[in-house]
Homo-oligomer: A and B are copies of this chain.
Amino acid sequence: MRINASSHVPYLFARRHLRSLALMVALLLAAGTSASGPQPQDSWLDGYRPMAQRVIDTSLGAPFAWRRLAELTDTFGPRFSGSANLEHAIRWAEAEMKRDGLENVRLQPVHVPRWVRGTENLEIVEPVPSSLAMLGLGGSVATPADGLRAELLVVGSFEDLRSRITDARGKIVLFNAPFTSYSETVTYRTNSASEAASAGAVAALVRSVGGMGLRTPHTGMMVYSEDVPKIPAAAISAEDAERLARMQARDGHVELRLRMGAQTLPDAQSANVIGEITGHERPEEIVLVGGHIDSWDVGTGASDDGVGCVVTWEALRLMKALDLRPRRTVRVVLFTNEENGLRGGLGYRDAFAEEAAQHVLALESDSGVFAPLRLGYTGPDRGLQTLSDIATLLTRLGIDRVGAGGGGADISPIARAGNVPMMSLGGDPRRYFTIHHTQADTIERITSDEVSRAAAAIAVVAYIVADMPQRLGAYTATN
């Protein structure tokens, strides 16, 4: 749930959340705390146990998915919207899906924004020159070519700035708000430029939104308000933010020079990658799983979100390899442009608007797969009961429940359009937000076991939801 609270979750069904959570807690208490986790009240799942066993054995038996993630991230590196790397990766994924034997493999064209970072740096010029670790924020405007030189003002929060608003004019304002959770602090990344501009500042710096790493700045999207001047905005490492705060506290006078060559270019052509296992009885009903194939322009986008693509895709590859064909269609979508536009998710909704209500469930993996795994759900209560039953098959994977609250940025548009229940699969947020949007988002952070477990969990859940006689969330005697 922390993952979901700190991700892009549209709080559909918000009132039902509390009820479903209460119900689930009651069920868990009633089921006791046996070593194998809570057991379902009835045996409707029994027919699926051998399948789950095979899927889990196969997935844990070989590091196929980790190797695929390594090939994706090694070969193409960062896959930023508008880059050739992203388009190469998309065509590779399409070809590989065909090699896997997935069905109806195709590209769904989408236009994506194209922001380019350009050359950038930040340095202390007074009292003694020294360079700082920075990353411009996505969407920022550039500085003049020879940079902006101005005095520093460090504030701790938006409130702090407002209380010292006359100090900010003509300055570079640093928002040194310590990272607590992503949901609480991401507002500084998103809104600092316009807050600082309102106070007359010439540029905004943000303490990186993420746990302190090894002087690793975290990039990400920022947004300008309509009514104030657009000023350049960049993230600096937590260490550099602390350093500047100490310098201001010590003697007050620090001058910085910020140079950013950022540009927003015309939109570029990109695509969502789609593959399926077609349902044998109700092929028009869709269980959608996916992640996003684009990444920021630093790191190699392994946890955000190469791994989400690979583990959802792997769920279908496992079904194909094990000759598992459910009643309904299971569809994997590798969305483009989640990071700085959400055009992939919006484009999917537009292309499949007429079939939105045919989506039975949409599951996204976009919070890493760092152990322990977490499954979250947003939807009708009775769907949560069914999914909690299914989760009892996943105890070998370190999962024994489904939390309230689940979704993902890319699946939100189709979910809104079709009132589709959503799930998320994610992992330990501490590990995730240490590397999130940094150059350290590489495959070395993730074990092959973590990747295999996530793929198996998605395969079991997606297969059963696609195959069970009743549609997820519909009332029946047995669920």
Q: Identify the A interface with B (CB < 8 A).
A: 70-71, 73-78, 84-85, 88, 124, 127-131, 133, 212-216, 238-239, 242-243, 246-247, 250, 299-300, 434-435, 438-440, 442, 444
Contact = CB atoms under 8 A, between A and B. Distances in A.
Contacts of A246: 70, 74
A181 to B, nearest CB: 20
Given A214-B216, A442-B239, A247 B129 contact: no
Given A70-B246, A247-B75, A215 B130 contact: no
21 contacts: A70-B246, A74-B243, A74-B247, A75-B127, A75-B128, A77-B124, A77-B129, A77-B131, A84-B128, A85-B128, A85-B129, A133-B439, A212-B444, A213-B440, A214-B214, A214-B216, A215-B440, A238-B444, A239-B444, A243-B300, A243-B442
Q: How many copies does the complex hold?
A: 2
Given A214-B216, A238-B444, A239-B440, A130 B85 contact: yes
B216 A444 contact: no
Nearest to A299: B215
A242 B302 CA distance: 14
Contacts of A238: 444
A444 B212 CA distance: 9
Contact of A77 (B130, B250, B300, B440): B130
Contacts of A88: 128
Given A74-B243, A74-B247, A76-B130, 15 more contacts: A70-B246, A73-B243, A74-B246, A75-B127, A77-B124, A77-B131, A84-B128, A84-B129, A85-B130, A212-B444, A214-B214, A215-B438, A238-B444, A239-B444, A243-B300
A336 B124 CA distance: 24
B444 A77 contact: no
A442 B237 CA distance: 11
A214 B77 contact: no
The 3 closest A-B pairs by CB, nearest first: A77-B130, A214-B440, A214-B214
A13 B403 CA distance: 64
A194 B242 CA distance: 41
Contact of A214 (B70, B84, B85, B213): B213
A435 B127 CA distance: 26
Contacts of A127: 75
Contacts of A124: 77
B130 A78 contact: yes
A166 to B, nearest CB: 26
Contacts of A300: 130, 243
Most chain-B CB neighbours within 10 Å: which of A78, A212, A444? Answer: A444
